[in-house]
Structures are given as C-alpha cells and as structure tokens.
Amino acid sequence: MNSFTLTAVGNLARNPELVAKGDTTYTRFCMVGNDYAGKDDEGAAREIVTSLWFVAFGALGEAIARNSRKGDQLIVEARVRANNWTDKQGEKQYDHSFVVQGFRFGAPGKTKREEREARREEEPQKDDSRDSNAEAPRASRRAAAAAAT
C-alpha cells in the first residue's frame, strides 16, 4: 500500500531528462504550477509558483521524455517515496521523491505548438480531386448492390 499518492497538474519547467544507468532507465522532470495568492496593495491578483521534481521509470519515463517538451501540460499520478540518509557530518537528512505511476498529456506548450505549425507548413497541400474520385467506386458498388436485390 502506498501511504501517500498525489495527482499533480502543471507545466514542464524544462525538457525532461532521460537517464540510463545499467539496465534501469528513468526520466526526471520538473513541473511548475501557478496558484492564486490574493491581491497586492493595488488590487492586482498575485500568484505563487510551486515546482516539484518527478521521476518516471521504464516505459512511462521513456514516453514522457520522447513526447513532452518544455511548457507542455501534464496530469501526473505519483506516489511519495521517502529518501532519508545520514550525511558526512553524521546528521540525519530527510527528503522525498515523487515517483510517477501514470500520466496523461494536457495542453501542448509553446514549443510543441510551434513544432506542429512548422510541420503543417511543410506538408504539401492535399489534392481534393482525389477525394471526389474515391467516392465514385463506392457509389457504383452501392448501385450494383441495389440492382442485385
């Protein structure tokens, strides 16, 4: 049983880092989220930025590294894992990791939108005459089927 799990919705602060150590592959990535923090003295809305680091192992990590770019929105389900150790001075240190259990892609960021637009501009314009000719064989098959009944 995982004592603590969380769902995080945020944007990638930078491109994910795919790491391979021996037989293990994992991806590290940082997500940021903006939250409303009241109003300032002039009445304008204030925001606070929260950033969290995540790690995803195996195929999950590879999918995130291959398909995500800085600015993309991710919806991540993760479990919290304690990382406790004793430093060189003999003092106990406490930390935690967020280990990804699943994710979904959200809205694409600026980089991905620009990549998609560049691909669209490179593609040749589709010839609509081929589409109308593709309908002709279907129509004759329908007519033949109706005549046979």
Residue 109 inside a domain? The answer is yes
Residue 108 inside a domain? The answer is yes
Token pair recorded at residue 53: 């680091």
| Domain encompassing residue 64 | 5-125
Residue 147 inside a domain? The answer is no
Nearest to 68 by CA among 24, 119, 109: 109
Q: Where is average pLDDT lowest: 4-8, 68-72, 126-130?
A: 126-130
Angle at 25 between CA 23 and CA 29, to 5 degrees: 160
Contact 74/10 with Cβ under 8 angstroms?
yes
Residue 27 inside a domain? The answer is yes
CATH number of the structural domain spanning residue 11:
2.40.50.140
pTM of the model: 0.71
- In sequence order, the β-bridge partners of residue 55 are 28, 99
Q: Kindly report, residue by residue over 71-95, the tens digit of the pLDDT.
A: 999 999 999 998 899 999 999 999 9
The domain total for the chain is 1
Residue 114 has pLDDT above 60, yes or no: yes
- Specify the higher pLDDT residue, 52 or 126: 52
Residue 148 inside a domain? The answer is no
Residue 114 inside a domain? The answer is yes
The number of beta carbons lying within 10 Å of the beta carbon of residue 134 is 9
Q: Kindly report, residue by residue over 15-66, the tens digit of the pLDDT.
A: 999 999 999 999 999 999 998 889 999 999 999 999 999 999 999 999 999 9
